[in-house]
Structure 1
Amino acid sequence: MPEDPKLHELDARTLRGLAHPLRMRLLSALRRSGPATASRLAEKLGESSGATSYHLRQLAAYGFVEDAPEHGKGRERWWRAVHQGVRFDESLLQDTDPAVRGAANVFMHEVANWHTQELSTFIGTRHEWSEEWVGASDVSDFTLRLTPDLASELNEKVHALLNGYRAHALPEGSPGAEQVRIHHHVFPMRTD
Structure 2
Amino acid sequence: MENEQGRTLDAGALKALAHPLRVRIYDLLSERGPQTASTLAALIGETSGATSYHLRALAAHDLIREVPDRGTARERWWERPKGRVNLPGPADQASPSGRAAAQIVTAEFFRLRHQTLMEYINRPASEREDGWKDAGLVTTSMLDLTAEQLAEVTAELTSVIDGILKRYEGQQDTPGTRRVTLRTEIFDLPVAVGRAEGDQERS
Q: Which has the larger radius of gyration?
A: 2
Deviation per residue, 1:93-148 (Å, 9 max, x gap): 23221111121222221221121011112123253232432222111111122233
1:69 touches 1:77 (CA, 8 Å); kept in 2?
Answer: no
Secondary structure of the structure 1 residue equivalent to 2:176? coil
Change in 2 beyond 3 A, CA 1:77/1:179: closer
Deviation per residue, 1:53-85 (Å, 9 max, x gap): 111111011111222353224522222223344
Cα offset for 1:161? 0.7
1:18 touches 1:24 (CA, 8 Å); kept in 2?
Answer: yes
For residue 37 of structure 1, what is the amino acid of its counterpart? T
For residue 55 of structure 1, what is the amino acid of its counterpart? H
Secondary structure of the structure 2 residue equivalent to 1:79? strand
2:4 touches 2:84 (CA, 8 Å); kept in 1?
Answer: no
Q: Hey, what's the Cα distance between the residues in 2 that align with 1:44 and 1:13?
A: 27
Q: Hey, what's the Cα distance between the residues in 1 that align with 2:22 and 2:176?
A: 31
CA-atom RMSD, angstroms? 2.3
Secondary structure of the structure 2 residue equivalent to 1:78? strand
Where structure 2 has 5 or more consecutive residues not aligned to the other structure, the ranges are: 194-203
**What is aligned with 1:189?**
189
Change in 2 beyond 3 A, CA 1:50/1:166: same
1:8 touches 1:83 (CA, 8 Å); kept in 2?
Answer: no
Within a 5 Å distance, the mapping from 1:133-148 to structure 2 comes to 133-148=132-147
Q: How many residues align?
A: 189
Within a 5 Å distance, the mapping from 1:112-127 to structure 2 comes to 112-125=110-123, 127=125
Where structure 1 has 5 or more consecutive residues not aligned to the other structure, the ranges are: none
* Structure with the higher helix share, 1 or 2: 1
Secondary structure of the structure 1 residue equivalent to 2:181? coil
Secondary structure of the structure 2 residue equivalent to 1:110? helix
**What is aligned with 1:76?**
75
TM-score, normalization by structure 1: 0.85
1:31 touches 1:84 (CA, 8 Å); kept in 2?
Answer: no
TM-score, normalization by structure 2: 0.81
**What is aligned with 2:108?**
110
For residue 39 of structure 1, what is the amino acid of its counterpart? S
Secondary structure of the structure 1 residue equivalent to 2:85? strand
Percent identity between matched residues is 33
